[in-house]
Amino acid sequence: MNKLVFVVDDNLSNLTMAALALESEYKVLTIPSAVKMFSVLEKKQPDIILLDIEMPEMSGFEAIAKLKAHPQWKDIPVIFLTGHDDAAMLQQAKELGGAGIIQKPIKLSALLEYVNNNI
């Protein structure tokens, strides 16, 4: 249980569900915004980030661009969380370097499988 997972989402119920799904196998840190994620990244580096696409202040797409531009963070796998199944948005997530996309509402078994396969 030494692997660290960041779950970044502005929706408290999504944070809670993801933490419940993962905390038996991973150390989970829930973060309510991408802006806050960057302050936490200064102190801790996760093994994987689950990142909501649509958030106030900074979107998941803006956040991954900033992550990929930083030498210390560029190799952290990012799995996007989204309620959309828009093909253009899914394509953009891939082009920006996302390791995968999980549709909301989150299926807990799928979430655990995605993390296990990408960590």
Tens digits of residue pLDDT in 39-93: 999 999 999 999 999 999 999 999 999 999 999 999 999 999 988 777 888 888 8
Helix (H) or strand (E) holding 48: strand 48-52
pLDDT for residue 4: 97
pLDDT for residue 60: 95
Q: What share of the chain in percent tops pLDDT 90?
A: 65
Look at residue 118 and give its three-state secondary structure: helix
User: Please, which pLDDT band fits residue 1 given cuts at 50, 70 and 90?
Assistant: low
pLDDT for residue 100: 86
